[in-house]
Amino acid sequence: MVAPTARVTTIERFILDQEEKYPEATGELSNLLYDIALAAKIIAASIRRAGLVNILGSAGATNVQGEEQQKLDVFANQTLTQALNHTGRVCVMASEEDETIIPVPDNYPVGRYVVLYDPLDGSSNIDVNGAVGTIFSIYRRVTTQGPGCLEDVLQPGCKQVAAGYVIYGSSTMLIYSTGQGVAGFTLDPSIGEFLLSHSRIVTPRVGRYYSVNESNFARWSKGTQWAVRGFHGDRPEEIRGKNSRYIGSLVADFHRNLLAGGIFMYPADTKNRHGKLRLLYECSPMAFIAEQAGGSATDGTRRILDIVPTELHERTPLVIGSREDVGYVADTLRRMGEE
């Protein structure tokens, strides 16, 4: 282990330094980001033990301490909710795991912010030791008094004040943006701190990878099929072929493409008319990060951040990543009359 030097920046230091640039900042948003970072460390510790569940007792069974073992998505959801609901910084929350909005309990103060999350993304990867993540999205409340309500939650992504994700991969990383670029932190488990590892993430304009679940190919629109054939290298006059990578965990697929350059798609198909991914917990926060890193995100025709949600668990097709590649898909759909 190395001794701390002036070059080591903890997430706390970084957030404070950012805040100092804004004299009007109250520190509330910074504290909210620490709350999320704390929840992420607790979730990371639990995920690291997931492989031991078979040895120590499976979900639903009791462990050696006589406590009930929880499924990780339930645990991650509770951890985030409990890290946020009593602080006085939040007026309402919403989670992919809860059917309705999550109010602040009666005995706690109500704050200015709204937090939405996908507590455990890519959860099918847990059983095979694959990468999973947490996605979060933060808005300012729009109502002016009382507890937060659905109106505070149903805001278009362009109104986000911050968004980010945590990837529990070979290391745990937290990536976030408050609208001034994208920064990345890597968890040093030996000291329990997120340390600045990527001070300004900029995604390549053209990517090396395309990521899409091709088992849905026959159910896609003609335009989507055409564009993906382009990625195969079948249309060299239109676009250079790419390498395929698909984990089945949005966070992990997006993260690789963000750093290395690439495009992720979850298009609509004849079974999933609006795609699979959720606007509020998955698409909007990732679109915010993509744009802040110089990339872009659309549903094929509309900018994701402009979509005004009408339902809590609304789904949308997603095309996200390197700007030119997303543009290629949008142009192809337009050309094929699929606007």
Among 35, 118, 299, 325, binds ligand AHG (CB under 6 A): 118
Among 39, 84, 227, 250, binds ligand AHG (CB under 6 A): 250
CA distances (Å), origin 142, targets 12, 92, 232: 28, 11, 45
The yes or no reply on residue 130 touching ligand AHG (CB under 6 A) is no
Residue placing its CB nearer to ligand AHG in the complex, 152 or 282 = 282
Considering only residues 175 to 234 of the shown chain, the ones binding ligand AHG according to CB under 6 A are 213
Number of residues that bind ligand AHG (CB under 6 A): 10
The yes or no reply on residue 249 touching ligand AHG (CB under 6 A) is yes
Considering only residues 47 to 66 of the shown chain, the ones binding ligand AHG according to CB under 6 A are none
**Alpha helix positions (H), 106-249:** 150-153, 222-232
Which of the choices ligand AHG, Mn ion, none does residue 88 contact, using the CB cut-off of 5 to 8 A by kind?
Answer: none
Site residues (CB under 5 A) for Mn ion?
96, 118, 120-121
Q: Residue 243: helix, strand or coil by DSSP?
A: strand
Residue placing its CB nearer to Mn ion in the complex, 89 or 255 = 255
Best CA proximity match to 92, nearest among 119, 111, 107: 111
Residue 77 · residue 95 · CB < 8 Å: yes
DSSP 8-state symbol, 273: B
Stretch that binds ligand AHG, among 56-64, 118-126, 137-145, 152-160 (CB under 6 A): 118-126
Which of the choices Mn ion, ligand AHG, none does residue 276 contact, using the CB cut-off of 5 to 8 A by kind?
Answer: ligand AHG
Best CA proximity match to 26, nearest among 140, 174, 102: 140
The yes or no reply on residue 9 touching ligand AHG (CB under 6 A) is no
Cα separation of 317 and 264, whole Å? 11
CB of 115 to ligand AHG, least distance (A): 17
Radius of gyration for the chain, computed over Cα atoms and rounded to the nearest angstrom: 20
Residue placing its CB nearer to ligand AHG in the complex, 235 or 313 = 313
CA dihedral 136, 140, 141, 144 (to 10 degrees): 160
Q: What's the one-letter identity of residue 40?
A: A
Distance of CA 99 to the CA centre of its chain: 19
CB of 64 to ligand AHG, least distance (A): 29
Which of the choices ligand AHG, Mn ion, none does residue 213 contact, using the CB cut-off of 5 to 8 A by kind?
Answer: ligand AHG
Cα separation of 186 and 173, whole Å? 4
CB of 1 to ligand AHG, least distance (A): 34
For 132: left if phi > 0, alpha if psi spans -120 to 50, otherwise beta; the answer is beta
Cα separation of 299 and 44, whole Å? 31
Count the residues in the chain.
Answer: 339
Cα separation of 316 and 319, whole Å? 10
CB of 108 to ligand AHG, least distance (A): 27
Residue placing its CB nearer to ligand AHG in the complex, 11 or 80 = 80
Residue placing its CB nearer to ligand AHG in the complex, 193 or 325 = 325
Best CA proximity match to 174, nearest among 194, 199, 158, 200: 194
Cα separation of 155 and 32, whole Å? 19
CB of 248 to ligand AHG, least distance (A): 4
CB of 227 to ligand AHG, least distance (A): 17
CB of 136 to Mn ion, least distance (A): 12
Stretch that binds ligand AHG, among 46-54, 83-91, 157-165, 244-252 (CB under 6 A): 244-252
Which of the choices ligand AHG, Mn ion, none does residue 35 contact, using the CB cut-off of 5 to 8 A by kind?
Answer: none
The yes or no reply on residue 276 touching ligand AHG (CB under 6 A) is yes
Q: What's the one-letter identity of residue 74?
A: V
Burial of 218 (0-12, 13-18, 19+ CB in 10 A): exposed
Residues binding ligand AHG (CB under 6 A): 96, 118, 121-123, 213, 248-250, 276
